[in-house]
Structure 1
């Protein structure tokens, strides 16, 4: 296996976080292993890493209850073309707005990604065939809290919290303390408000672990660093007319952050050269 797997173990479930290497943008696919079923969250950008997720699923030897897509960016949905073929009949669930976006624009966005990255990107988008309704749900005796957050890293993001385990899958709303965030749209203030809400939820629910969209799980202690990043990215955006100017300004203001490829990639979407 090229990617790595980190497993969080609890009395009544396990959370397996698959992370590809840097050339796969460290996009996480997370498998929540319940007593008698699996829930698989997000599906990779490149097929070679989606295949490894499929191998990990097979090794757990339990049926998949559902696939879930957290938001509408292709690094999280491209791999579902492969996974839904390999595990035929499993529903893909998402927020209604995410489903509608994929139905309208998913193919167009994938075509752009294929032009950039080649045939490891999916040929066709898998439009979700089930909807997630925010709220609390008990699955196999485990409490799940589904929440929706708007106008942050993506237009609409689904988070999945396991309140009794102190774990939240927060997708790209949160990043590592030393990472560039994917500021692909100028939603800086709204995103900061989302992070402040997550701070409140952390205290209220007692969260200890965030499974993020890219890289190893982190703790709530990264939230101040994420907010600092967004403030710096906003200031750079206000003073920059072009993508390369913004990259330089962010680099000058936050020289300790990386990887550089992430900020370069974000700039292409932030300044409208590539669709998110």
Structure 2
């Protein structure tokens, strides 16, 4: 396996957090294992790594009940069809994906949008899965206009795929106020384990680190892309995922 899996067990629930290598932007897929099934969160960027996740999930001996797409960035859904399960998302996320043309994964393999388009709508609020409460909440702004977070409140686990753990953030929309508002919305809740969309599982310290990162990113946001990249690497030398900055710079070149 080229990716790595961190396993977090809390009573009847086990979460398997798969993190792709650097050429997959260290994006994560979370596998929530309940007594009878597996619920997958996000479908990977590189199809090779989606296949790794699916093979790992099959090894658990339980069916993949559904795949939930947290938001409409391709690194979180290009491998969705590989899971062979119903695809769920927010209505807004489905619309954003539907508006895209066909894409390619980092290795150049073609992905038809129709193949990864969510067909089911996530119902916000709390749902019981095998008797275990899962909470679904809509976030607005920050990394992207619409995103979904999933919590296991009884186990104090938060799955926030728009959060990164010491992996450079996607700030192409320059919505620093939205980012901070979402952090402030979550920071006082009682979650002990935070499962991010990029990087390893972490804890509540991630909120302070993200807030500090956004302060610095906001200060340098007016620079050209190359200067912004250099300054962020200098200020956060231990952070990985510089490729995320490169992709943002390529999509939004300096005038």
Same fold (TM over 0.5): yes
1:146 maps onto 2:128 in alignment: no
> What's the counterpart of residue 237 of structure 1?
221
- Within the alignment, does 1:263 sit opposite 2:251 as a pair? no
Correspondence for 2:203 among 219, 224, 229? 219
Structure 1: 5+ residue stretches without partners:
none
Which one of 92, 96, 110 corresponds to residue 97 of structure 1?
A: 92
Displacement of 1:13: 1.2
Counterparts of 1:216 and 1:121 in 2: how far apart (Å)? 28
Q: Give the corresponding residue for 2:156.
A: 166
SS across alignment from 1:161: strand
- 1:149-196 Cα shifts (integer Å, max 9, x gaps): 111111111000000111010002x222x4321212111111111011
Closer/same/farther in 2, CA of residues 37 and 132 from structure 1, 3 Å limit: same
Aligned to 1:4: 4
Gap change, CA 1:3 and 1:118, over 3 Å in 2: closer
Paired residues of 1:42 and 1:77 also in contact (CA < 8 A): yes
Q: CA RMSD in A?
A: 1.9
Partner of 2:119: 129
Local SS of the residue matching 2:155? coil
1:2-45 CA deviation, whole Å, 9 max, x = no partner? 11111111111110111121111111111101111110110111
TM-score by length of 2: 0.92
Work out the CA distance in 1 between the residues paired with 2:60 and 2:86.
19
- Whole-angstrom distance in 2 between the partners of 1:123 and 1:129: 15
The residue aligned with 1:47 is 47
User: Which whole-Å deviations, capped at 9, do the CAs of 1:62-94 have from their partners, x for residues lacking one?
Assistant: 1222110000011110001322xxx2xx21000
Distance 1:167 1:74 in 2: 25
Aligned to 1:208: 192
State how far apart, in whole Å, the 1-side matches of 2:254 and 2:65 are: 38
CA spacing shift, 1:71–1:248, aligned 2, 3 Å = same
Q: In 2 relative to 1, CA 253–7 (structure 1 residues): closer, same or farther, beyond 3 Å? A: closer
More strand by share: 2
Deviation of the 1:229 alpha carbon: 0.7
**TM superposition score normalised by structure 1:** 0.86
Task: Kindly indicate whether residue 170 of structure 2 is the aligned counterpart of residue 175 of structure 1.
Answer: no
1:70-81 pair list within 5 angstroms: 70-81=70-81
- Structure 2: gaps (5+ residues): none
